[in-house]
Amino acid sequence: MTDGSRLVAGRYRLAGLVGRGGMTDVYSATDERLHRTVAVKLLRTTPKTDAHFRLVFREEAQRASRMSHPAIARVYDSGDDVTTDAAGVERVTPYIVTEFVDGRSLREIIAEGPVAPDDAVHIASQLLTALEYSHRALLVHRDVTPGNIMVTGDGTVKVMDFGISRAASDSAATVAQAGTILGSARYFSPEQARGETIDARTDLYSTGVVLFEMLTGRAPFRADRPAAVAYQHLSEEPVVPSSINGRISPALDAVVLHALNKDRTRRYQTAAEFRVDLETAGAGDVPPGLLSAIDAESALYAMDPEAVSGPEAALRRLAAVDDDERVIRTQTRPPVAWVWAGIALLTTLLLAIGIWVVNIESGPSISTGLSVTVPDVAGGTYDEAAAELTALELQPLRLPQESDTVPEGTIISTEPGPGIRVSPQEQVTVYVSLGQDPTTVPLLEQTTEAEAVTAIEDRGLVYGESIPEYSPSLPAGTVIRSEPEANAGVREGDTVNLIVSNGLVEVPSVVGQPITTATTTLTALLLTIEPEPDYGCDTGEVTAQSLPAGEHPQASEITLTYCAG
């Protein structure tokens, strides 16, 4: 049997190969139990695909399956598929089943050339939103690459392969081996290359590499061997992106280079911080955090204020000055600069404390108007929340999220959460429930009641009740139709009722009707009609029927007496 027609785990019918990664072959498939299209990733097994690998892979896939975010491909199932080859050898193939994303990988898009800066910011922002969500769930992706990012026709980003990378990285003993398993070392963080313990900041470094590649059409570090690329991540500085693509702004240059800092304590610490700076730079403004760092550095090293004529020049200075140069400057500055800088800082601090003490006694806090408390809007509607947040000078952003417990259209939560103080104009993400997973009612007509109940529950729906109804042809206990009807759009957890044949027909009274009309009526009920002519009258009407009006078994025999004189 070819992979294109293979049945995985007795449930997923493979339709065709749609992609190939460093570790997996990806197929479109049909879930024959729930009748939906899914993506099935089969791990290419090797002698190194041992029991420990499968155990870690399964644990991470289970954690990934609990994540529900618009920018993360849903994980539906995982396990081991056991097959026997032509030689009679049993093979165990780990698999993972995800939602099927109809789009193109970012790798394919970049292969066509640099992505427009606005589009690159849009894609990277959605990627960071997904990482922000996964990092809150304590799940580090570890393999953020263009091949694991899908972009749909409407620009929606879906991040793939949560779970696979953890199993792979735990099984990789060396950089060279990791390069084989993970496909390419181009997206390694320095700590990955050194074999150190990694955390969420590793994903942010890899995101910086992906952003660099989108903007320039090439990765910041390239070589023939994975080990050589890993060495570059450790020892070489990336070039300024705008030196490759002149359409890139100085602000974006600074954001990318800050994300690619080799010292993880000095790069972005959270996905939210990275995303805010990226969106600010994408809008043509200077990220305040980067600008304040430049201003502080200028004061500390007594730089000529005329040398920095604006944000653009300051950001280019940030991209051009490396750590070694800063150390040299610090060592060659006269100590007087340090003394005056210390005096200025101390004076400013004392003045601020004095103002704060005075205002405590005499009036409102000086912090009034400088921060806003995020309100608790969970349980309400988005329109109500948006109005409340806008009134507080906050920027609401609606993001849909599936939920098994919160009704559709109701707010699940916000990020930042209620009670957190933030700056005015800060963005507040509002997660609005989509309800449970969407699905459809299966086709249940002419199945037995027991078969229909099983089909309903297999699709994540709830069987309600069976309502008896007359049927001239379907045997008792056979489903006539469902409510809602077949193929109707519903959500998991919705109730489906069955209309079931009771094996009876309702016979009407046809006395007084013309014999032709009566015969047509009763024939439609599949009754056996025996006409009995009465030659004592000639009206042609039915004068009597052997079965009274009411319920009778299907295919009953009925005698009609009619005037035939």
Tell me which residues are annotated as active site.
Answer: 143
Structure tokens that stand for 528 in this block: 């056996």
Q: Are 159 and 101 in contact (CB under 8 A)?
A: no
Residue linked to tokens 């069987």: 463
Residue type, 436: Q
Strand-pairing partners, residue 294, are none
Please tell me the distance from the alpha carbon of residue 44 to that of residue 23, in angstroms, as a whole number: 6
Structure tokens that stand for 486 in this block: 């077949």
Beta-carbon neighbour count of residue 222 at 10 Å?
11
Rg of the chain, C-alpha, whole Å = 35
Could you give the 3-state DSSP secondary structure of residue 79? Answer: strand
Please tell me the distance from the alpha carbon of residue 462 to that of residue 497, in angstroms, as a whole number: 9
- Please state whether the peptide bond connecting residue 416 to the residue before it is cis, i.e. omega within 30 degrees of 0: yes
Residue type, 272: A
Q: Is 538 left (phi over 0), alpha (psi -120 to 50) or beta?
A: alpha
Q: Are 380 and 412 in contact (CB under 8 A)?
A: no
Which one, of 324, 259, 313, 261, lies nearest residue 286 by Cα? 313
Please tell me the distance from the alpha carbon of residue 290 to that of residue 274, in angstroms, as a whole number: 11
Strand-pairing partners, residue 367, are none
Structure tokens that stand for 309 in this block: 């004529």
Sign of torsion over alpha carbons 379, 385, 388, 392: positive
Which spans in 495-554 are helix H? 515-523
Q: Are 302 and 296 in contact (CB under 8 A)?
A: no
544 burial level (CB within 10 Å; 0-12, 13-18, 19+): exposed
Please tell me the distance from the alpha carbon of residue 212 to that of residue 237, in angstroms, as a whole number: 13
Strand order in the sheet with 479-483: 462-469, 495-501, 479-483
Q: Is 26 left (phi over 0), alpha (psi -120 to 50) or beta?
A: beta
